[in-house]
Amino acid sequence: MELQYWIWIAVGISFTLYIAIAIITRASSTGEFYVAGKGVHPIANGMATAADWMSAASFISMAGIISFNGYDGSVYLMGWTGGYVLLALLLAPYLRKFGKFTVPDFIGDRYYSNIARGVAVFCALIISFTYIAGQMRGVGVVFSRYLEVDITTGVLIGMLIVLFYAVLGGMKGITYTQVAQYCVLIFAFMLPAIFISLMVTGNVIPQIGFGSTGFDGVYLLDKLDGLHRELGFHEYTSGKKTTLDVFFITAALMVGTAGLPHVIVRFFTVKKVSDARKSAGWALLFIAILYTTAPAVAVFSRTNLIETVSNKAYHALPDWFEKWEATGLISFDDKNQDGLIQYVADPEVNELKVDADIMVLANPEIANLPNWVIAIMAAGALAAALSTAAGLLLVISSSVSHDLIKKMIKPDVSEKGELIAARLSAVGAVMLAAYFGINPPGFVAATVALAFGLAAASFFPAIVLGIFSKRMNKEGAIAGMVVGILLMLFYMTKFKFGWFGGGTEKDWWFGISPEGFGSFAMMVNFAVSIIISKFTPAPDREIQELIEKIRNPNDE
Amino acid sequence: MNKNETYWKTNLKYLVILLTIWFTVSYGFGILLVDTLNQFTLGGFKLGFWFAQQGSIYVFVLLIFVYIYLMNRLDEKFKSKN
């Protein structure tokens, strides 16, 4: 059957499923809208968290980025998984015991201050908006690539679907659609990975396959290192970045993960404290399936690419090359007119440009898989983008309706009124996100990665100190968050957009890249909070009792 | 020392042990010591590279499940004392 039909069928079936789930699980109270009535099973919550967390970038771009960066790509693998250890051990159980609806809820109550709450709302909105614009763009790109509609139409279709199930179902609807989306996306990612592993190494498990020998008896990684040396690239298994920078980027991504409001809020949805711990474990297990496969896919496709194109005649290349050339993701410019492809590190000689995304997207064709597998890939990529967008949307809408309207502007609002406000702000947020998806400001791509730095620099210290220090007071926490997020914003706008006089790599403070700077800003936040709190009054008896209560899961 | 304090102290002890392992496998083996470990191999993997792209992730998953087990046991113990 024709590929286009398969894709419409796969996308159509999966979208119908999401909408059906949303209708069945629609929310009828604010508790259901914000935290799914706190009745989600830990395994279901684990799957939902995994889908919430893994965005279009994890699904489409990550393996490709690793395949071009080799060892340096490890920052994403360790950074985006290690954060769950921090979540499970330092945050999730206590925030669940605290038992309210949002992250600003915790900050506002623990630091007995609406200023602290306001600062937290501001941080949550900045982080979520930079992130969601990238997701809507991702939806548009997937639609345009697979369904041959233009990006604007793609964004609009995606927007309508998210709008429908997020506005109707709230957290409850989002949770169960995310469970379905996880199943779709993990199946779509693993199937081609397993086939390619079989094709290249004869091993059915990709995680083992990329450490085995190919059919020529040479270890795959040794072969790849050799090819890289030959073509002048740096060796695949060793890095170009400095050790310090790798350390700081990994830390920023880990701590940022643990500080992202749309991830944290998922742990408010389970019944008990022990369930919050359990769902963090399940979430990481479900995420690890994709995250341990991605570096294998990276190695398979990198080797495959080099062996297929390097010094080969252009007219004798396989069909997939021509097909993806049409999308502009791969392009060939025969500089020396010899009809052969020179793919080398030296930009003067190099004739091939390859976009990182192609490493995952073209996999099914490279492995000669049937059309229905490609269709499932399309559904998987959409599932990854939509599930993340929906989770972020909920954070934005609850920040507005709950933290701003209910807690700060109009405390006497009825539950019904708050629910209407929540739905309206979700509608507003989707429209704004769609606008940015269609007209992406140039900085979206740059800021998505930096959203982690912002989360690390603002929320993480305030929450951790709020739980583990009884002495931490509002003055310390507010000062820490404000200094942390402003410092991070300053550094990223300076080096990414050239504000404040701009600067280049050699002007980086201590050689830390903007991506890794979140770790530094986080340390500054910790230091400022602790020093300021030493010189200002300790929190009241009441707050100390609140902390006692959060720490003890047994007295419900 | 009262009951809640003992509970909290035990929890903190678990945290310190587990986070030390967390730090060692990722920042230690995967980053700071990667060149040293790369002199050894595990099948076709250089060991440091394996920790950075595979091993650390497996250990992370394991650590959370160990913590779940330890804390459930601790919770049980303190519930029965009530």
ipTM: 0.95
Structural domain contains residue A336: no
At residue B41, the 3 state secondary structure works out as strand
Distance CA A181, CA A183 (A): 5
| Residue in A66, A88, A219 nearest the CB of B67 | A88
Q: Name the one residue in this structure whose structure tokens are 């330092």.
A: A90
Task: Give CA torsion, residues A264, A265, A268, A270, to 10 deg.
Answer: -90
Q: Residue A37 corresponds to which amino acid?
A: G
Cβ-defined contact of A81 to B8 (cutoff 8 Å)? no
Give domain status of residue A332, yes or no.
no
B24 CA: distance to closest CA in chain A (Å): 12
pTM for the model: 0.92
> B8, A220: Cβ pair inside 8 Å?
no
A325 lies in some domain? no
Instruction: With H, G, I as helix, E, B as strand and everything else as coil, classify residue A470.
Output: coil
Q: Quote the CA–CA distance of B71 and B82 in Å, as a whole number.
A: 17
Give CA–CA dist A313/B54, Å, rounded.
37
Number of Cβ within a 10 Å radius of residue A396? 25
Contact A236, A224 (CB under 8 A): yes
B22 alpha carbon, distance to own chain's centre: 4
Q: Which two tokens stand for residue A433?
A: 């996100």
How far is the first Cα of chain B from the last one, in angstroms, to the nearest whole number?
16
A172: tokens are 């409850």
Among B6, B53, B81, the strongest candidate for a mutation testing the A interface, having the largest count of A CBs within 10 A, is B53
Phi, psi of A19 (to 5 degrees): -70, -40
**Predicted local confidence at residue A82, as pLDDT:** 95
Which residues on adjacent β-strands are paired with residue A330?
Answer: A354
More confident residue, B60 or A363: B60
Q: Name residues whose C-beta falls within 8 Å of residue A211's C-beta, 6 or more positions apart in sequence.
A: A219, A220, A221, B42, B43, B44, B45, B50
Contact A274 B72 (CB under 8 A): yes
Instruction: Evaluate whether residue A165 is within a structural domain.
Output: yes
- Largest alpha-carbon pair distance within chain B? 54
Q: How distant, in Å, are the alpha carbons of A190, A251, A288, A358 from that of A347? A: 34, 32, 36, 20
- Domain membership of residue A356 (yes or no) is no
* Inter-helix orientation angle A273-309/A220-231, to 10°: 50
Q: CB contact, 8 Å: A469 with chain B?
A: no
From chain B, the residues in CB contact with A284 under 8 A are 60-61, 64
3-state DSSP assignment of residue A189:
helix
Query: Which pLDDT does position B1 carry in this prediction?
Result: 61
Whether residue B61 and residue A288 make contact (CB cut-off 8 A), yes or no, is yes
Q: Looking at residue A547, which CATH number applies to its domain? A: 1.20.1730.10
d(C-alpha B74, C-alpha B10), whole Å: 8
Please check whether residue A282 lies inside any domain of the structure. yes
Instruction: Say if residues A122 and A482 touch (Cβ distance below 8 Å).
Output: no
Residue A333 domain-assigned (yes or no): no
Which residues in chain A are closer than 8 Å to B23, comparing Cβ atoms? none
- Residues of chain B found within 8 Å of residue A289, distances taken between Cβ atoms: none
Nearest to A220 among B15, B31, B44 (CB): B44
CA distance, residue A90 to nearest chain B CA (Å): 8
Cβ partners under 8 Å of residue A138, min gap 6: A55, A56, A57, A60, A381, A384, A385
Contacts with A318 (C-beta within 8 Å, 6 or more apart), sequence order: A308, A366
Looking at the partner chain, which of B31, B49, B63 has a beta carbon nearest the beta carbon of A243?
B31
List, as ranges, residues 225-264 from A with C-beta within 8 Å of B: 237-238, 243, 246-247, 250-251
The pLDDT value given to residue A399: 84
φ/ψ (deg, to 5) at A331: -145, 150
Q: How many Å apart are CA B53 and CA A110, to the nearest integer?
A: 38
Say whether B32 and A243 touch across the interface (CB within 8 A). Answer: yes
How far is B6 from chain A, CA to nearest CA, in Å? 11
CA separation for the pair A32, B56 (Å, rounded): 37
Strands B45-46 and A352-354: unpaired
Q: CB of B75 within 8 A of CB of A274?
A: yes
The CA distance from A207 to A62, in Å, is: 16
CA nearest to A281 within chain B: B64
Of A120, A110, A212, A34, give the one whose Cα is nearest residue A551: A110
- The tokens describing A531, both together, are 């020093």
Query: Does residue A123 fall inside a structural domain?
Result: yes
A427 touches chain B (CB under 8 A): no
Work out the angle at residue A63's Cα, subtended by the Cα atoms of residues A515 and A166, and round it to the nearest 5 degrees: 75
Alpha-carbon span A371 to A326, nearest angstrom: 18
Which among B31, B63, B67, B76 is the top mutation candidate for probing chain A, defined by the most A β-carbons within 10 Å of its own β-carbon?
B31
Nearest to A113 by CA among A104, A123, A122: A104
Torsion of CA A372, A373, A377, A380, to 10 degrees: 80
Taking only the tens of pLDDT, chain A with its 556 residues reads 688 888 889 988 998 898 888 888 888 788 888 888 788 899 999 999 999 999 887 888 888 889 988 999 999 999 999 999 999 999 999 999 988 888 898 999 999 999 999 989 988 888 888 788 777 777 777 777 777 777 788 888 888 888 887 887 888 888 999 999 999 999 999 999 998 899 889 899 999 988 888 888 889 998 999 899 888 888 888 888 889 999 999 999 999 999 888 899 899 889 888 999 999 999 999 999 999 999 999 999 898 888 888 888 888 888 888 878 877 778 888 888 888 889 988 888 899 888 877 888 887 887 778 888 888 888 898 888 888 888 888 888 888 888 888 888 888 888 888 888 888 988 888 888 888 777 766 555 556 667 888 899 999 999 999 999 999 999 999 999 999 999 998 998 888 777 888 788 888 888 888 888 999 999 999 999 999 999 999 999 999 999 988 898 776 5
Q: Is the distance from CB of A87 to CB of A53 less than 8 angstroms?
A: no
Nearest CA in chain A to B41: A211
Question: What are the structure tokens assigned to B70, written together?
Answer: 């330890």
> How many structural domains comprise chain A?
1
Q: Are A386 and A161 in contact (CB under 8 A)?
A: yes
Other Cβ atoms less than 10 A from the Cβ of A157: the count is 18
- How far A325 CA lies from chain B's nearest CA (Å)? 31
Q: Quote the Cα angle for A178-A425-A164, to 5°.
A: 40
Size of interface A-B (CB pairs under 8 A): 123
**Contacts of residue A222 in chain B, CB cutoff 8 Å?**
44
Residue A444's pLDDT is 53
User: For an interface test with B, which of A49, A69, A71 has the most B Cβ atoms less than 10 Å from its Cβ?
Assistant: A71
Closest CA to B38 of B29, B55, A226, B28: B29
Q: How confident is the model at residue A435, as a pLDDT?
A: 85
Q: Is A346 at the interface with chain B, CB within 8 A?
A: no
Tell me how far apart the alpha carbons of residues A439 and A435 are, in angstroms, rounded to a whole number.
6
Is B4 in Cβ contact with A237 (below 8 Å)? Answer: no
Across the interface, do A554 and B65 touch by the CB < 8 Å criterion?
Answer: no
Length of chain A: 556
Residue A166: domain span: 3-311+362-551
Flag whether residue A277 sits within 8 Å of chain B, measured between CB atoms. Answer: yes
Q: Which residue of B has its CA nearest to A224?
A: B44
β-partners of residue B40 are none
Contact: B44, A211; criterion CB under 8 Å: yes
Tokens of A426: 């979700």
